[in-house]
């Protein structure tokens, strides 16, 4: 993790190691964590960590910035960090900051929702989604075996500040927890393993000794991971339609299947519908009013899907052609239509406001390696702006050409890496200008094509093509 290779920075790193685990950020010790509760929720296919902390300004200056390091063990990565004032609900920003540290810590700089005066306190609620932190142990299991996942983290919550009192609660997916590290003040009750309360914990790592705990628990659900999702949102003023198509590259990241898959065993046990670590079906809760849903894969239309849409709900229930076991992958496409007026509003002049979910996806807990959302607007749409509910990592603008298009449709492609479905169903707001003239382009093109076709036919009709009558 140490990136420096020149002597000077090595020296600097060594000097800093005496303070905060070699962090090059030089974080001033201006706070104390008065009371901190960390909750680690492992009931999903990824980790949701929540930190509720009362912080106090122990300096002589008003403060606005607070630092939070997150420990990344193994192949884990932070998907998102969000923060708010726990009492008033006002959001605060959390941004990842670069530093060179001896430990795999990712530091976040949190800008407080309001300036904290000396001796004043504020309670922060910080949530983080962490992917790749759950390891199946054993890594390989039989078709009807139970699946167990393992999680490792630091006993004390990493913090560059002194912590007066802290406690950690780990919530497993169910009560079957065969192994867990036991320290002083360790308790297991039902789904929860808790560590602490621990009093007067020094800033993390100053004593160089970083205790870790490992918890292994049963996980009866598949670990659904979409390596990639391409989501197209296509607006048609002309057709008064909003079309959504999603192309998924799915993998089950759970324990791998030991022997050959036995369809017979599967068929006989399926009758009792036992919990399984294989992906048997995926349920897509769509927005009310969704229609014309379809589901295809590499082979073609898959008939084992159900779609139900009424005035209260719209649900697409798909069943892959085979149960997707650990280590297996499956690619498929789903799509549906919606009436445009439910998503599009006409603003001032020739401006339009589109409000549509950035991410939808299945109801089973899911994480995504890469999400590419393409928003395809009509031909001639200009002045495109958007407000995203989550940070976008890459943006591309292009013209999307299809049948009967002249200049191509105004499109934007937004790429987001490492997403967890915690952030799904939040709307992206896209505004653009679209003039009446542009709106006439489509019917004009159609008219002109039909007319030219007519002329050509008429001309051809007059030419005598018959051979020597």
Ligand X SMILES: *[C@@H]1O[C@H](CO)[C@@H](O)[C@H](O)[C@H]1NC(C)=O
The contact set with ligand X (CB under 6 A) reads 56-60, 118-119, 227, 249, 251, 301, 303, 305, 329, 348-351, 382-383, 433
Q: Which is nearer to ligand X, 262 or 383 (CB)?
A: 383
Cβ neighbour number for residue 311 with a 10 Å cutoff: 7
Q: Which is nearer to ligand X, 292 or 396 (CB)?
A: 292
Tell the smallest beta-carbon distance from residue 154 to ligand X (Å).
26
17 in helix, strand or coil?
Answer: helix
CB of 294 to ligand X, least distance (A): 7
Question: Which segments of 224-358 does DSSP mark as H helices, in order?
Answer: 263-270
Closer Cβ to ligand X, 285 or 327, answer by number: 327
CB of 240 to ligand X, least distance (A): 21
| Rounded Cα–Cα distance for residues 170 and 194 (Å) | 6
Q: Break the chain down into helix, strand, coil percent, rounded to 5.
A: 10, 50, 40
Nearer to ligand X (CB atom), residue 119 or residue 404 = 119
Residue for token digits 């950035």?
Answer: 358
Name the CA dihedral angle for 292, 295, 299, 301, rounded to a multiple of 10 degrees.
-30
CA dist 437 and 338 (Å) reads: 25
Nearer to ligand X, 101 or 366 (CB): 366
* Minimum distance, C-beta of residue 54 to ligand X, in the bound complex (Å): 12
Report the C-alpha gap between 63 and 53 in whole angstroms: 16
Question: Please, is 201 exposed, middle or buried when counting C-beta atoms within 10 Å of its C-beta (0-12, 13-18, 19+)?
Answer: buried
Residue 90 or 382 having the CB closest to ligand X:
382
CB of 121 to ligand X, least distance (A): 9
Q: Closer CB to ligand X, residue 12 or residue 315?
A: 315
> Closer CB to ligand X, residue 60 or residue 271?
60
Smallest distance from the beta carbon of 409 to ligand X, in angstroms?
17
What DSSP state is assigned to residue 341?
Answer: G
How far is it, in rounded angstroms, from Cα 249 to Cα 329? 7
The residues near 100 (Cβ < 8 Å, ≥ 6 apart) are 1, 2, 3, 4, 9, 13, 22, 23, 24
From the CB of 131, what's the least distance to ligand X, in Å?
16
Q: Decide: residue 95, CB within 10 A, 0-12 exposed, 13-18 middle, 19+ buried.
A: exposed
Question: Any idea which residue has 């004593």 for tokens?
Answer: 207
* Nearest-CB residue for ligand X: 349
- Residue 94's DSSP bridge partners are 110
Residue 420, SS3? strand
- Compute the least distance from the CB of residue 433 to ligand X, in Å: 4
| Rg of the chain (C-alpha set) | 28
């Amino acid at each position: 993790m140490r990136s420096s290779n020149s002597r000077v920075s090595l020296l600097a790193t060594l000097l800093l190691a005496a303070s905060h685990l070699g962090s090059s950020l030089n974080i001033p010790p201006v706070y104390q964590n008065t009371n901190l509760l960390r909750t680690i929720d492992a009931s999903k296919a990824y980790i949701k960590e929540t930190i509720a902390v009362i912080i106090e300004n122990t300096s002589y200056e008003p403060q606005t910035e607070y630092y939070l390091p997150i420990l990344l063990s193994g192949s884990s990565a932070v998907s998102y960090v969000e923060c708010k004032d726990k009492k008033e609900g006002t959001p605060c920003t959390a941004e990842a900051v670069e530093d060179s540290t001896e430990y795999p810590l990712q530091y976040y700089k949190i800008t407080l929702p309001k300036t904290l005066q000396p001796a004043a306190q504020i309670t922060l609620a910080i949530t983080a989604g962490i992917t790749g932190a759950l390891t199946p142990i054993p890594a390989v299991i039989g078709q009807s075996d139970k699946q167990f996942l393992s999680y490792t983290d630091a006993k004390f919550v990493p913090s560059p500040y002194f912590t007066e009192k802290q406690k950690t609660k780990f919530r497993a997916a169910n009560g079957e927890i065969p192994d867990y590290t036991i320290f002083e003040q360790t308790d297991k009750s039902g789904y929860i393993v808790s560590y602490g309360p621990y009093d007067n914990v020094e800033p993390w790592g100053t004593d160089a000794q970083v205790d870790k705990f490992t918890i292994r628990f049963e996980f009866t659900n598949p670990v659904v991971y979409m390596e990639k999702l391409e989501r197209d949102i296509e607006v048609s003023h002309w057709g008064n339609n909003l079309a959504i198509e999603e192309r998924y590259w799915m993998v089950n990241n759970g324990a791998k299947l030991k022997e050959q898959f036995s369809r017979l065993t599967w068929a006989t046990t399926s009758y009792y519908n036992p919990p399984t670590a294989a992906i048997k079906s995926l349920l897509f809760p769509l927005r009310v009013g969704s229609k014309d849903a379809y589901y295809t894969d590499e082979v073609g239309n898959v008939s084992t899907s159900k779609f139900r849409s009424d005035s209260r709900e719209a649900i697409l229930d798909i069943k892959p052609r085979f149960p997707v076991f650990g280590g297996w992958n499956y690619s498929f496409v789903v799509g549906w239509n919606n009436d445009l007026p439910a998503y599009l509003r006409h603003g001032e002049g020739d401006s339009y406001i589109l409000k549509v979910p950035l991410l939808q996806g299945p109801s089973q807990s899911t994480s995504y390696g890469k999400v590419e959302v393409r928003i395809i607007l009509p031909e001639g749409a200009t002045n495109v702006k958007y407000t995203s509910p989550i940070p976008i990592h890459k943006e591309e603008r292009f013209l999307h050409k299809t049948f009967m298009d002249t200049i191509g449709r105004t499109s934007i492609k937004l790429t987001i890496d490492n997403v967890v479905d915690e952030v799904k169903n939040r709307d992206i707001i896209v505004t653009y200008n679209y003039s009446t003239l542009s709106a006439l382009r489509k019917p004009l093109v159609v008219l002109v094509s039909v007319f030219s076709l007519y002329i050509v036919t008429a001309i051809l009709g007059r030419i005598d093509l018959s051979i020597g009558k």
